[in-house]
Amino acid sequence: MTRIALLACAAAFAVAGCSTTGGDGVASASAKDWSAPVGEDGRVPFASTYAPYPGRPTALTGATIYDGRGGMIENGTVLFREGKVVAVGDASLATDGYDRIDGTGKFVTPGVIDIHSHLGDYPTPSVQAHSDGNEATSPMTPEVWAEHSVWPQDPGFTRALANGGVTSLQILPGSANLTGGRSVTLKNVSARTVQGMKFPGAPYGMKMACGENPKRVYGGKGRMPSTRMGNFAVNRQMWLDAQAYDGKKRDLGKETLKGVLDGEILVHNHCYRADEMALVMDMAKEMGYKVTAFHHAVEAYKIGDLLRENDVCSAIWADWYGFKMEAYDGILENAAFLQREGACVVIHSDDENGIQRLNQEAAKAQAAGRRVGLDIPDAEVVGWFTYNAAKAMGIAEMTGSLEAGKMADVVLWNGDPLSVYSRPEKVWVDGALMFDAMDRRRRPVSDFELGQPGEGDVK
CB contact set of 310 (below 8 Å; sequence gap of 6+): 23, 281, 291
pLDDT given at position 443: 87
pLDDT given at position 458: 63
Residue 196 lies inside a defined structural domain of this protein? yes
pLDDT given at position 193: 97
Mean pLDDT of 12-24: 35
Report the share of the chain in percent with pLDDT over 70: 92
Give per-residue pLDDT as tens, 134-163: 999 999 999 999 999 999 999 999 999 999
pLDDT given at position 191: 96
Residue 14 lies inside a defined structural domain of this protein? no
pLDDT given at position 269: 98
Burial code (b: 16+ CB inside 10 Å, e: under 16) for 310-321 equals bbbbbbbbbbeb
pLDDT given at position 4: 38
Mean pLDDT of 407-419: 98
Predicted confidence (pLDDT) at residue 19 exceeds the cutoff of 60: no
- Report the first-to-last Cα separation within the chain, whole angstroms: 46
Provide the domain count of the chain: 1
**Residue 440 — pLDDT band, cuts 50, 70, 90?**
confident
Cα–Cα dist 311/299, whole Å: 17
pLDDT given at position 36: 62
Average pLDDT, the chain: 92
Predicted confidence (pLDDT) at residue 209 exceeds the cutoff of 70: yes
Angle at 180 between CA 27 and CA 347, to 5 degrees: 90
Residue 13 lies inside a defined structural domain of this protein? no
Q: Where are the alpha helices (DSSP H) in 244-376?
A: 252-261, 274-287, 304-309, 334-340, 358-371
pLDDT given at position 42: 82
Residue 337 lies inside a defined structural domain of this protein? yes
Give per-residue pLDDT as tens, 259-314: 999 999 999 999 999 999 999 999 999 999 999 999 999 999 999 999 999 999 99
- Residue 139 has a CB neighbour count (10 Å cut-off) of 24
Mean pLDDT of 48-62: 98
Predicted confidence (pLDDT) at residue 47 exceeds the cutoff of 90: yes
Predicted confidence (pLDDT) at residue 6 exceeds the cutoff of 80: no
Cα–Cα dist 386/348, whole Å: 10
What is the helix, strand, coil percentage profile of the chain, to 5? 30, 20, 50
C-alpha distances (whole Å) from 229 to each of 212, 271, 306 are 11, 15, 22
Mean pLDDT of 106-119: 98
Report the share of the chain in percent with pLDDT over 90: 86
Mean pLDDT of 408-429: 98
Predicted confidence (pLDDT) at residue 23 exceeds the cutoff of 90: no
Cα–Cα dist 16/23, whole Å: 9
The CATH number of the domain where 135 resides is what?
3.20.20.140
Residue 426 lies inside a defined structural domain of this protein? no
Mean pLDDT of 403-408: 98
Cα–Cα dist 186/174, whole Å: 17
Predicted confidence (pLDDT) at residue 11 exceeds the cutoff of 70: no
- Domain span at 336: 112-398
Which residues sit opposite 268 in a β-bridge?
207, 293
Residue 336 lies inside a defined structural domain of this protein? yes
Helix/strand/coil (H/E/C) assignment for every residue in 213-259? HHHHHHHCCCCCCCCHHHHHHHHHHHHHHHHCCCCCCCCHHHHHHHH
Q: Which of 291, 345, 341, 292 is nearest to 317 (CA)?
A: 345
Q: Is 326:211 a contact under the CB 8 Å cutoff?
A: yes
**DSSP symbol at 153:** T
Residue 312 lies inside a defined structural domain of this protein? yes
- Residue 91 has a CB neighbour count (10 Å cut-off) of 12
Residue 84 lies inside a defined structural domain of this protein? no
Give per-residue pLDDT as tens, 210-242: 999 999 999 999 999 999 999 999 999 999 999
